Chain A
Amino acid sequence: MRPKEIQCPSCGAVHPVWNPGIMMVVCEYCGNAVYWDEDQIRNAGKQSILPEGFSRLYRGATGELSGRRFVVLGRVRYSFGHGFWDEWFLEYADGTTAWLTEDNHELALETLLESTPVPPFASLYPGARLTIEGETFVVEEVGEAECLGMEGDLLHPVLTGERYRYADASSPDGRHTLGIEYDETPPTVYKGAWISHTALKMDEEGDDW
């Protein structure tokens, strides 16, 4: 099969889109973003260019996560006020996708929990305990996230400056993560697990710097 090709309305560069679930592409040459909306291609304009080289992951990288080959399709960066974190968008060799959250060089593989009731944002604070699907989590941080920029291919349109409230929690044994995004009603809930360094193998590790 051949990939779908998108032409950047700003610079004319052609971008192959391999995964049919992709809804947004940021031009790697000029930083212009385009997305699909009801079968129409819309121009989102120039986005902030994210610096590269400061992480194990990078757009276009290939590697193996828990024995599964993947390629990094894109990334979104969010600010939480006194810092930022990255959401890396991965495509596995079987066509399925996943999000890897990177916060201060710690990586967590997260999956969406469907129809999971969570407490209202106002009731959460650092140290608060909540039980999701029978597992206890301790809230580590609550705040408002702001999108600082994005790159590559993404599943959903997201624009620089978009904001939403969030709560991040961790299981007390330090193994699992919980992210609640109060961007929609009901809130979106992701459950994940911290990834050990050895569970992720990059084809180019970048250990020599």
Chain B
Amino acid sequence: MTAFDPSRFALNAGRTRPRYRPQVIRCVRCGAGVDVKDERAKMVVCGHCDAHLELQPGNIAQVLEGAVAQWNFPLEIGDSFRLDGIRYEVIARMAFIENRDSSDVTRQYLLYHPCRGTLWLDEYMGAYSISRTTHLMPRFEGDILKVWTGRRIETFDGTRWICNGSGRYELVHVDGALPWVARPGDKSEYVEFLAEKGDRQYEVQRVAGELEFGLGRPLSPQEVARATQKEVAKLDARRHPWVQPAFVTRATLYSLLLTALFLAINWIFLLWTWIAGKTVLSADVPAGALNGETFTPPFSVVEPGDILAIRIKVPDLDNAWLDIDGALVNADDQVIHVFSDEIFYYHGWEDGWLWSEGERDKSFYFKLPQAGTYRLLLHAVSGEGECPESDENNYDIHVRVKYGAKAPHAANAGIRLCGIMGILVLFLQGVLLFRSD
């Protein structure tokens, strides 16, 4: 047993705490002094010349030559971050992108306290979260990183989580000091979860073949502003609105179902307007005939007040335009209605993307005052490419006339209504799910 001396164990009987002093190394590239705050750092980026230095006992080596892409960060190396009254310090910053899309950036800060360890502060689209490494594992057979968004899992502590997204990060920028050697181009897979209850977050990452787990929670802009003593507006690197990542909850599911219902109703409505009516004329008109004025075969309308739909289709129109002039003429050769419009269709490849503009057909609608026999009088001119003027036509057209058609206004109103409902549903979902403190 011990040589009993209770005074050795009394409060404050111990040795005075040794002072924290960061290591100072010399950059092997420019000779500048570089502070290394965390003794576990394996890599530090020189703040003067951006050299990436690997730290080994008794040896410092440059591991990356040349310039590295620079990214704007709202927080600087050395900035304080106060959480629950404890001051952490930003000792490393990283930027990750996905799918080689430089606008899809996640910024990550390593926060350090010599006695409390490290925390990760993440920012994506202006939304912040804080997390810490955990040993808590998912109760899941198979590859957890292949879980799809919306799937529910459980961790071994009994917490249930909803997958909020997964993907593959590519490191594009790093500075400060890290406990491992990170190089731009390094990739890591991740999958993120949100707690079914509460606001906790859970993350699994596969780095160099090994799984790592993190537990965290979102931070509002106000919390980050208080922690950093910075203005909220300066915390969003890309001036994006503050949004929380969306995820599938029961509320979201109901919202989506409601949206789908409105979409279905409106598509049925639209379909009805398309199929309604009776075709009374379907005729091809050759290009040459349209150079002058030409009549279509006659057609009859039996109900006065019916809506007539005239559809002009130019099947061979290709990077060209066609101006159509038409008139509805009754059995006494009186012009009842005139119509005209430009039909154009352009398309091509640009920067690897397929684009198109315009359509090969056009429809005209009007109400017939009385029943009777009618004909269409047609004339057209057309041009290729960017040719602005022409006095001849080179395209055959197809004319279809229906009476008893439903005016497109109803269909258009339906589509607009659907859009408005979609926005309303998203807004309601936002009220339910978005946390803006």
**Contact residues in A for B275 (Cβ distance below 8 Å):** none
Give the distance in Å from the alpha carbon of A105 to the alpha carbon of B133 in the complex.
Answer: 10
Give the distance in Å from the alpha carbon of A194 to the alpha carbon of B23 in the complex.
Answer: 29
Give the distance in Å from the alpha carbon of A92 to the alpha carbon of B5 in the complex.
Answer: 12
**Contact residues in A for B115 (Cβ distance below 8 Å):** 55-56, 105, 205-207, 209
B6 within 8 A of A: yes
Given contacts A60-B14, A61-B15, A19 and B39 within 8 Å (CB-CB): no
Choice from A52, A173, A204 contacting B136 with Cβ under 8 Å: A173
A53 B135 Cβ-Cβ under 8 A: no
CB within 8 Å of B: which of A43-98? 51-56, 58-63, 69-72, 82-84, 91-95
Choice from A18, A105, A194 contacting B117 with Cβ under 8 Å: A105
Given contacts A19-B2, A93-B6, A104 and B11 within 8 Å (CB-CB): no
CB within 8 Å of A: which of B191-248? 209-211, 213
**Contact residues in A for B10 (Cβ distance below 8 Å):** 62, 69
Chain B interface bracket (under 10, 10 to 19, 20 to 34, 35 or more): 35 or more
B211 A62 Cβ-Cβ under 8 A: no
B250 within 8 A of A: no
Give the distance in Å from the alpha carbon of A82 to the alpha carbon of B213 in the complex.
Answer: 19
A170 within 8 A of B: yes
**Contact residues in A for B209 (Cβ distance below 8 Å):** 126
Instruction: Please name the residue on chain B nearest to A204 by beta carbon.
Output: B17
Could you mark each residue 382-395 of chain B with 1 if its beta carbon is under 8 Å from any beta carbon of chain A, else 0? 00000000000000
CB within 8 Å of A: which of B2-41? 2-6, 8-21, 23, 38-40
**Contact residues in A for B49 (Cβ distance below 8 Å):** none
A71 B8 Cβ-Cβ under 8 A: yes
B340 within 8 A of A: no
B278 within 8 A of A: no
A184 within 8 A of B: no
Choice from A72, A93, A209 contacting B113 with Cβ under 8 Å: A209
Choice from B133, B134, B137 contacting A138 with Cβ under 8 Å: B137
**Contact residues in B for A173 (Cβ distance below 8 Å):** 136-137, 155-157
B139 within 8 A of A: yes
B116 within 8 A of A: yes
Could you mark each residue 148-169 of chain A with 1 if its beta carbon is under 8 Å from any beta carbon of chain B, else 0? 1000000000000000000000
Instruction: Please name the residue on chain A nearest to B138 by beta carbon.
Output: A172
A133 within 8 A of B: no
**Contact residues in B for A70 (Cβ distance below 8 Å):** 9
Choice from B21, B23, B39, B116 contacting A197 with Cβ under 8 Å: B116
Give the distance in Å from the alpha carbon of A151 to the alpha carbon of B211 in the complex.
Answer: 34
Instruction: Please name the residue on chain A nearest to B16 by beta carbon.
Output: A204
B18 A69 Cβ-Cβ under 8 A: no
**Contact residues in A for B180 (Cβ distance below 8 Å):** 82-83
Q: How far is the CB of B277 from chain A (nearest CB, A)?
A: 66
The 4 closest A-B pairs by CB, nearest first: A105-B117, A60-B15, A62-B14, A95-B2
5 contacts between A and B (CB under 8 A): A20-B2, A59-B15, A83-B42, A105-B117, A205-B115
With A71-B14, A204-B17, A207-B113 already in contact, 20 other A-B pairs whose C-beta atoms are closer than 8 Å:
A20-B1, A20-B3, A58-B15, A60-B15, A61-B14, A70-B9, A71-B8, A83-B40, A83-B180, A104-B40, A105-B118, A106-B133, A126-B211, A172-B136, A172-B156, A173-B136, A174-B134, A174-B157, A208-B87, A209-B115
